[in-house]
Amino acid sequence: MTNTLGAVGKADYVLLTTFRKDGTPVGTAVWAVADGDKLYVWTVTDSWKVKRLRRNPAVTVQPCSVAGKPRGEIVEGTGRVLDQEGTERVRKLLMRKYWLMGPITILGSNLRRGKKGTIGIEITFP
């Protein structure tokens, strides 16, 4: 797990902003993990951010607090919803980064929603 993304790749939380049909930005604080020149996040499969991302892959990310208070520069990127294999890889990366809470949270989510209840998102940068 390497980080070439600077502050956004090192942050415990990033503000992932997706865009509604009318262009209105909607930000959500999420866990994120950098691997090379890509950033990965994990979320509920039927969340609004996933629906917005499927319609419009443009995103912005920036370091933030757990409550979503911005703490750094905004970086523009392109998001892509991953398949089950890619999502499993994201889970493993997150468990490695968030070594205590990651495995507990992911296990709880798997028990509650099943493996298909959450999905990984890959963010690339120009």
Number of domains the chain contains: 1
Residue 96 to residue 102: CA distance in whole angstroms? 7
Note the pTM of the prediction, 2 decimals. 0.88
Residue 115's CATH number: 2.30.110.10
Q: Which domain holds residue 97?
A: 7-124
**What pLDDT is recorded for position 97?**
85
Tell me if 34 is assigned to some domain. yes
Tell me if 1 is assigned to some domain. no
Tell me if 2 is assigned to some domain. no
pLDDT digits (tens, 9 = 90+) for 42-70: 999 999 999 999 999 999 999 999 999 99
Tell me if 90 is assigned to some domain. yes
Q: Note whether 118 and 109 are within 8 A (CB).
A: yes
Tell me if 103 is assigned to some domain. yes
Tell me if 93 is assigned to some domain. yes
Instruction: Work out the pLDDT band at 2, boundaries 50, 70, 90.
Output: low
Pick the closest to residue 120 from 109, 67, 111 (CA basis): 109
